[in-house]
Amino acid sequence: MEIYDYIIVGAGSAGCVLARELSSNPDNKVLLLEVGPDSNRFWVHTPAGMAKLFFDKKLNWNYFTEPMPALGGRKMYWPRGKGLGGSSSINGMIYIRGHPSDFDTWEKLGNPGWAYRDVLPYFKAIEHNERGADEYRGTEGPLWVSDPAVKVSSSFDFIESACRHGIERTDDINGRLHDGVGFMQHTIRNGRRHSAYFAFLRPAMHRPNLTVRTGCRVHRVLLDNGEAAGVEVECNGAKHTILAAREVILSAGSFNSPQLLMLSGLGPSEELRRHGIPTVLDIPGVGRNLQDHFYVHTAYRSTRSSSYNRKIRGVWKYLEGARYLFTKGGYLALGTSQVAAFIKSNPDVDYADLQISFRPMTFNFHPSGHVEVDREPGMGVSVFILRPKTTGTVALHSANPADPPKLIPNFLTDEEDVRAMISGVKQIRQIMALEPIASRVLSEQLPGPRMQSDEQLFEFMVDTGNTASHQTSTCKMGRDAMSVVDERLQVRGVKRLRVVDASIMPHVTSGNTNAPTLMIAAKGAAMIKEDALVRRSIRT
């Protein structure tokens, strides 16, 4: 019988941080379990390789939602990372923490210790910002945070036009002024993706007290007298039991953590009965409160100098590839977007509820999985709603751990969300019509000049709207009846069991979600070490 002090389920962004931090004490015997493979691959290292990983069958779960009535019954593709590093190995590498008020709200919702003043030290501790340290940024952490390798001239012009639209310029979205417009930073080090695996886990792999296993699917958490005792896991076709002397920690993400709780008999009793799973503890909030950033993309035909489309297609892409191989620079070393603008959908909003992202290139994803950069020069501008009123559900398709979870987002079912998104598309048009960016625009491709009324823009969203892949909050932290974990991230009603990943967010943060997920893991690890539960007496 195998026994570890801590069993961590899931080697995504949070799991990699936890494994590093908990194994820093040589007295802790730590096991990290991951169903996916190693992610040490060329296209993972290469920032532009994100396009190659969008439909990858080995490193991506390739999830789909249930049909969505409000979106004409269509299913939506939801990529999620599978393998060491999780989604940090396939994402756009954008590093945005969120607005300070997000975390202050978490505290007000019954989570002491989670205000911005409390989480800022953990944000600073995990990062090495190439700009240097200040009141808001750190340089002693393992995660590299950098500026774009190439700042395209049209990005500067977009910033200037956004300022003329009334948006304040910010030198650091993660610093003093979040609600503004400026260049984003990315988790890229010397032209290579710096995933959670490469930043946190790989440097700790040599530790004798840390065991990392890939290709292992956890079927359920084993419970004994109201506490987590271990996990039932299948590795390479063989099913066996591994025991935890101190704690089991779920870091499987906003889909798989609630799925695993339900498979273990912890969740809404009606959902468990539906699939013949005995209810160990009725926790109605498991899988509820699913939040995501609904996303709409607009595109503009542009002058040649405004876009790098030509540089990364045809014969030019091979020249750019050679440039990257020799210098680790150029356009293949860039993250997905260059500039972010945080704006209000209307003046009555307390702080920005929309994020606009600008990229000096355009592309299309084909159903086959092939990603094609547009032939003509183009600029892409997207918008997503930051704090949606809409919530969805993660449920079960069956009691089989190999079946995907059932994903129900409920997009476009709240009138306030719809009005905010329509405002976002209109404000993109207003910015793009202002100089100096206006001189770079040849024509509007999406939504297109014929789409003008609110009804037409809503139809455009129904047909083309997508996910920003920022799903959170399905095991939310709090003190109300729908909370799943407390402020120490312990599952309510179950000892020695925690959830530490994006699913614990009481509400989604105002921006991309990888940075706050890493912070959650760093703070969670600190709390686990502070609590230092006495080892269970285990008879084998």
Q: Which amino acid is at 211?
A: T
Kindly report the three-state secondary structure assignment for every residue of 213-277: ECCEEEEEEEEECCEEEEEEEEECCEEEEEEEEEEEEECCHHHHHHHHHHHCCEECHHHHHHCCC
For residues 501 and 179, is the Cβ–Cβ distance under 8 A?
no
For residues 331 and 317, give the distance between their C-alpha atoms in angstroms, rounded to a whole number: 9
**Residue 16, H or E segment:** helix 13-22
Alpha helices in 253-394 (DSSP H): 253-263, 269-274, 314-327
Q: Does the annotation place 500 within a ligand binding site?
A: no
Residues in Cβ contact with 413 at an 8 Å cutoff, skipping those fewer than 6 apart: 70, 390
Listing DSSP states for 482-497 in one string gives: T--B-TT-BBTT-BTE
Q: What is the rounded distance in angstroms from the CA atom of residue 502 to the CA atom of residue 88?
A: 13
- Of residues 99, 128, 186, 470, which has the active-site annotation? 470
| Alpha-helix residue ranges (DSSP H) falling in 433-473 | 454-464
Task: Please check whether residue 484 is in contact with residue 335, taking contact to mean a CB–CB distance below 8 angstroms.
Answer: no
Helix (H, G, I), strand (E, B) or coil at 48: helix
297 has catalytic annotation: no
Distance between CA atoms of 24 and 18, rounded to whole angstroms? 10
Using omega within 30 degrees of 0 as the cis cutoff, is the peptide bond preceding 436 cis?
yes
Choose among 134, 481, 155: nearest CA to 307.
Answer: 155
Instruction: Please count the other Cβ atoms lying within 10 Å of the Cβ belonging to residue 356.
Output: 25
Catalytic residue IDs: 470
Binding residue numbers: 218
Binding residue numbers for FAD: 218
